[in-house]
Amino acid sequence: YTIGLSAINSAGEGTKDLTLTLLKNPGAPTLSSPSNTTAYLRSSFSFTVTANPAATAYSFSGLPPGLTNSNALISGTPTTPGTYPVTVTATNSLGSDSQILSLAVVDPVLSLSTNSLSGLSSILGQEGSIQSYTISGSNLTSNVTVTAPAYFTISLDSVNFTNSLSLVPATGSLAAKTVFARLGANAPKGTNSGTITHSGGGALPSNLAVSGNVIQPQLSLSTASLQGFTTRPGVASSSQSYTVSGTELTGGITVLSPVGFEISTDNAAFSDSLLLIPSGGILSAQTLYVRISASASGATLTGSILHEGGDAAPAPLSVSGESVQPSLVLSLASLSPFSTGAGSASTSQGYTISGTRLTGPITVTAPPNFEISLNNSAFGGVQTLTNHGTLSAVPIYVRVQSNAPVGSFSGVVSHSGGDATSQNLSVSGTVISTTPAIGLSLSTLSGFATVAGTASSSQSYTVSGANLSNVVTVTAPAGFEVAPDNANFTASLSLSPNGGSLSNVPIYVRLAAAATVGNYSASISHTS
């Protein structure tokens, strides 16, 4: 309403409009807030009751333990779960209104499928084995944090591991989720334990104990190397041995030999690989035998026997040796021809023999008609060199035997043994007869003819001789005559040897002019 006002005095009149609003009486208050609500155990709670028209005072009865009101505000931290019918009354000067507020106090809960994980294991420096559990929750007010203890890690997919996880509930509920746990690569050797904590969402923390063992598999060898193996191609060397042992092993141990070597557990059956099986993770000291194989080739052999497996660090053992053919070397391939007289040994000649990596004695054998000596004094058909391993320029002397027959001959001095390739030395010689001998180029001369008083035509032959110490006298028989020059004929003549020899000296023969008529048949004599 608009009301006009005026005021008059002696001085005049003043006016003003006044607006007047008339309101209807609002009456008693009516409660307008929700009739139910939820509070969470151990979490702060507040709820304001509203009324229309406004109330000037509020009262509550039946509030849960831990909650109080201040006028229209209910607040506090509930301590006891349950559903509470709270009577709410709103009052003003015109009256009051009451209603039941259903106040549910719920308990946020986290549930684990187990309270512990044990037996987790790992190798030092490696991620460990995986175990899992599930977590679920209800009445949660916020995210749930899962935290792993030192040296452990957790994951939701068994692939991506970390130290903590955040789980997000859906409308207060956490459906069962699988959590994977394992020892981390940084875990120290020995037993590790701790607690995986689960907190948040208003729930009481839930703990899960975890424990596991970190092992350090180890292999130990009794020596780091084996050296000095020696043999020749086609023959295995003598064996050497060592031991291998191990602790905390997770599987079998494979032993591999390098090229040219072979290994054995019994020093009888050899191969290039072995498998050793631990018992309860322990490999007690196992003796292994090593040798150069018969099939090895090449002078110098080196390598490493590798021991690996069971998650232990590989353990190498170095080996070295030689597979070389034993050798014999002669200083000469042949000797100059020997010469001697019958019944006398020849002057000796010498050479040397050397050898390396010999496995036994060397037998030196002379051919027929020769003999050998190691000291140029005691000669025989066979000599034995007993130096095993190495021969260093050992002298050998050779000569023609004193009982060798007259004539020329040849052969080889053989050298064999010690698994070396045999070596031969060529020798030849001549034995000259020492018995005086006279030789004629012809045995007969015939057909001489002449007339009385005239010498016949001559015929000739030659005389040779050896080992002669006196002149050779050539004597013609009666009716014949001889000459050294087909000119000066006589009944006999003398031939002087040169160094005991005559070499094809010509002798001429004819019927003498003084021969009487008749037939002649006789022999020319040659004497010395």
What is the reported pLDDT for 22?
55
As a whole number, mean pLDDT of residues 33-43 equals 95
- How many Å apart are CA 4 and CA 14, to the nearest integer? 11
Alpha carbons 401 and 86: distance in angstroms, whole number: 144
* Integer-rounded Cα radius of gyration of the chain: 66
**pLDDT over 90 (residue 433):** no
* pLDDT higher than threshold 70 for residue 25: no
DSSP states of 124-143 = TTS---EEEEEEEEES--S-
Mark whether 193 and 245 lie in a shared domain.
no
Q: Is 16 part of a structural domain of the chain?
A: no
Instruction: Report the C-alpha gap between 229 and 303 in whole angstroms.
Output: 12
pLDDT tens digits, 309-354: 999 999 999 999 999 889 999 999 999 999 998 999 999 999 999 9
Total domain count, the chain: 5
Bond before 53 cis per omega within 30 degrees: yes
474 and 511 together in one domain: yes
| 236 and 165 in a common domain | no
Residue 24 clears pLDDT 60, i.e. is over it = no
Residue 74, domain member (yes or no) = yes
Domain finish residue from 432, 456, 473 = 432
pLDDT of res. 28? 93
The last residue of a domain, from among 188, 215, 242 = 215
Model pTM score: 0.57
Q: Is residue 10 part of a domain?
A: no
Distance set, CA 429 to CA 382, 404, 501 (Å): 19, 10, 21
The reply to whether 344 and 319 lie within a common domain is no
**What is the predicted pLDDT for the residue at 277?**
97
Closest CA to 292 of 318, 268, 327, 259: 259
pLDDT of residue 154: 98
- Domain contains 24: no
Q: Are 277 and 189 part of one and the same domain?
A: no
Q: Is the same domain home to 412 and 450? A: no
| Residue with tokens 């989720």, as numbered in its chain | 177
* Domain at 93, CATH number: 2.60.40.10
My answer on whether 380 and 445 are in the same domain is no
Please check whether residues 195 and 124 belong to one and the same domain.
yes
Which tokens is 29 given? 């208050």
Domain assignment present for residue 3? The answer is no
| Mean local confidence (pLDDT), 70-88 | 97
**What confidence tens digit (pLDDT) does each residue in 379-409 have?**
999 999 997 789 999 999 999 999 999 999 9
Same domain, 315 and 341: no
Tell me how far apart the alpha carbons of residues 208 and 196 are, in angstroms, rounded to a whole number. 5
Residues 229-251 have pLDDT tens digits of: 988 889 999 999 999 999 999 99
Based on the domain organization, do 99 and 114 belong to the same domain? no
Instruction: Give per-residue pLDDT as tens, 419-431.
Output: 999 999 999 999 9
Q: Pick the last residue of a domain from 173, 196, 215.
A: 215
Query: Are residue 428 and residue 331 in the same domain, yes or no?
Result: yes
- In this prediction, residues 446-470 reach a mean pLDDT of 94
Residue 332 domain boundaries: 327-432
260, 272 Cβ separation under 8 angstroms: no
Check whether residue 120 and residue 198 sit in a common domain: yes
Does residue 207 sit within a domain?
A: yes
pLDDT band for position 299 (50/70/90)?
confident
The mean predicted confidence, pLDDT, of the chain is 94
Span 110-152, pLDDT tens digits? 999 999 999 999 999 999 999 999 999 999 999 999 999 999 9
Q: How far apart are CA 150 and CA 466, in angstroms?
A: 117
In which band, very low, low, confident or very high, does the pLDDT at 21 lie, cut at 50, 70 and 90?
Answer: low
Helices (H), ranges, 406-480: none
Contacting residues for 518 by C-beta, under 8 A, at least 6 apart: none
Residue 131 to residue 119: CA distance in whole angstroms: 9
